[in-house]
Structure 1
Amino acid sequence: MSPWALVLVLVAAVTHASWNVLSKQAARADGIVFVWLVALASTVVWGPLFAGFLLVTGTRPDLTDLGLIAVSAAIHLGYFVLLQKGYGKGDLSVVYPVARGTGPMLASLVAVLVLDEHPGPAGVAGIVLVGVGVFMMSGGGRGDLRGLAFGLVVGVLIAGYTIWDSQVVSAFAVAPLMLVYAGEAGRALMLLPVVLGRRELILPTWREHRWPVLGAAVLSFLSYLLVLFAFTMAPVSVVAPAREVSVLVAVLLGGRLLSEGHLPRRLIAASVILGGIVAIALS
């Protein structure tokens, strides 16, 4: 992996873990309304940047681009909704590592089997270490079964959008900013009919959770934009597992800010993951 790609991935990991902590803090809110507010806020906050991008580059999406983006938005919609529901049922320290571990393992497997990518021995060892560390982080599959179940399902969706979006920005050359911003706007539109049926919850959710909404809107957009740029510099089978250093950050934040406990054991597991990250970075 190139140094620039590694920097992008590591910054994305910190921002990704941070917005997940904010989402967990808003877990008592209605999940659909919260996800919609985040998508809407992201569309508004990042609108000037996107408008400037269109003016400077003259980029205009065609029907193929819009179709590819629509599929991405649908997969991400399922991801965000199920993730928020999972945070309402289980601990961040269970849902997050299981989801983040399942996703890159499946994404890397598809990248090797379908996309004909070939990570070296160090890369393969790193991928295995990340998987082992994430499994340790989940408590060896014991304890919070609902959190584990949501984490596994969310992980499948992570694998889906990782593979799909990597091809959209590489094989189809859709600009990463176009994909992320249009995806945010698309999710807001897709959820609008459902949210209108819960309109009485919009203002109370905004008043109580406005800072998590705004924080997640900024950080989730930024974290994934950085990952998409990394996809243009390094293979999916390397980028997808390497970004899971966010598990280490999430454990530290969960242990300190959310007081979820088991910090020593989870830090040991995070060290295993970190070893995998180093191996992948050196591959």
Structure 2
Amino acid sequence: MQGLPFLLVLLSAVAHGYWNFLFKQAENKDAFLCLSKMLEPLIYLVPFVVTVNVWGFELSSLWYVVVGMLLAVANYMCLSGSYKLLDLTIAYPVSRSSTVFLPFLAFIFLGEHIDVVGWVSVILVSLGVVVIPLNEFKLPDLSDRTWVSQKGMGLGMFFAVLAAFTVALYTLWGKLAIQHMHPFIYMYCYTLAANVYFLPLLRRLDRSIIRREWEMNKWRIIGVSVLNTMSFVLILFALALGKVTYVGALRQSSLVVGVGLGWLVLREVVTVPRIVGVGLVIAGGCLTYLAK
């Protein structure tokens, strides 16, 4: 992986990890997220107009935006479904395991090949993502069948796997889309279109809840709006320069940022599996730099 896309993904990971850290502090996460998504097109309106004037924008390319938006909404819905039916320690790592799908999808649709070092990096990152949420290294008690028969377990796992698959799909789609339009224009239109989903969600909330969330967290909401767009634009530029598989794997280093901020600022407990998981993600991320 070349130096520039490697650096862009790391910067994106820092931005992504920090906005998730800000989002953690929300009182009502639905109100917080919807407000931040609605602010994004307003904050970046002037840069969007300037970019369109310089680079141009063909309306025929809008279908790339529509497909990207539909994949993103599908991801939000699958995540929501998995979190409602599964414990966070199961839903979170499974839904983040898009790196498992990316090598195969990139090969099928883009003819992208990765070397042995690349495969090792993907495996290490994937293992790290699975390990980070664990409280301890402990095998399930197979004599206790409740963990298997838990109501909604199968459907919850289906949603979690589907969430990971949709992340892989919209990452791959982003690579295809920016071959036909400027990365920032794609991201702006994609964010604007996504409000078709977030606006009705916001309207269903009580106004007092929305007002309270804004009064308590307006600067955090604005920060998330700025960093969310910035993070994905950096990823799109990295996708234009590097392989989808390596960009997707290295992007998981945002988890390292999130764990670090949680420990340093929020005083969250850092378990042994979390330390091991962070080490695996860092090792896998470093190997993407050496992979071809």
**TM-score of the pair, normalised by structure 1:** 0.84
| Cα distance change, pair 272–193 in 1 and its aligned pair in 2 (3 A) | closer
**1:254 shift after superposition:** 2.2
Find the counterpart in structure 2 of residue 159 from structure 1. 168
Contact 2:175/2:244 (<8 A) preserved = yes
Find the counterpart in structure 1 of residue 36 from structure 2. 38
Q: Deviations over 1:48-105 (max 9, x none)?
A: 1111111222x12323x111101212222343566578789999887655433x1222
Find the counterpart in structure 2 of residue 7 from structure 1. 7
Partner amino acid, structure 2, of 1:3: G
Partner amino acid, structure 2, of 1:195: L
CA distance in 1, matches of 2:86, 2:265: 16
* Larger-Rg structure: 2
Partner amino acid, structure 2, of 1:20: N
Q: Deviations over 1:104-148 (max 9, x none)?
A: 2222221123432110111111111111222222326989999x9
The correspondence for 1:69, drawn from 58, 65, 70, is 65
CA distance in 2, matches of 1:212, 1:40: 14
Partner amino acid, structure 1, of 2:4: W
Contact 1:128/1:276 (<8 A) preserved = yes
Matching of residue 220 in structure 1 with residue 216 in structure 2: no
Find the counterpart in structure 1 of residue 196 from structure 2. 189
Q: Say what the alpha-carbon RMSD is for the aligned residues.
A: 3.0
Contact 2:256/2:278 (<8 A) preserved = yes
The correspondence for 2:217, drawn from 206, 209, 216, is 209
Contact 2:178/2:240 (<8 A) preserved = yes
Find the counterpart in structure 2 of residue 273 from structure 1. 281
Contact 2:121/2:284 (<8 A) preserved = yes
Contact 2:57/2:181 (<8 A) preserved = no
| Cα distance change, pair 205–82 in 1 and its aligned pair in 2 (3 A) | farther
Mind listing any 5+ residue stretches in structure 1 that lack a counterpart?
A: none
Mind listing any 5+ residue stretches in structure 2 that lack a counterpart?
A: 141-146
**1:8 shift after superposition:** 0.2
CA distance in 2, matches of 1:272, 1:6: 17
CA distance in 2, matches of 1:279, 1:39: 34
Q: How many correspondences in the alignment? A: 275
Secondary structure at 1:179 match in 2: helix
CA distance in 1, matches of 2:83, 2:194: 20
Secondary structure at 1:104 match in 2: helix
CA distance in 2, matches of 1:199, 1:224: 30
Find the counterpart in structure 2 of residue 53 from structure 1. 51
**TM-score of the pair, normalised by structure 2:** 0.82
CA distance in 2, matches of 1:262, 1:193: 38
**1:153 shift after superposition:** 4.8
Partner amino acid, structure 2, of 1:155: A
The correspondence for 1:260, drawn from 264, 268, 289, is 268
CA distance in 2, matches of 1:46, 1:142: 48
Q: Deviations over 1:147-206 (max 9, x none)?
A: x95764532331121111111113xx2211011111111112343234334362432332
| Cα distance change, pair 217–203 in 1 and its aligned pair in 2 (3 A) | same
Give the number of the structure with larger relative contact order, counting CA–CA contacts within 8 Å between residues 6 or more apart: 2
CA distance in 2, matches of 1:96, 1:17: 15
**Percent of pairs with identical residues:** 25
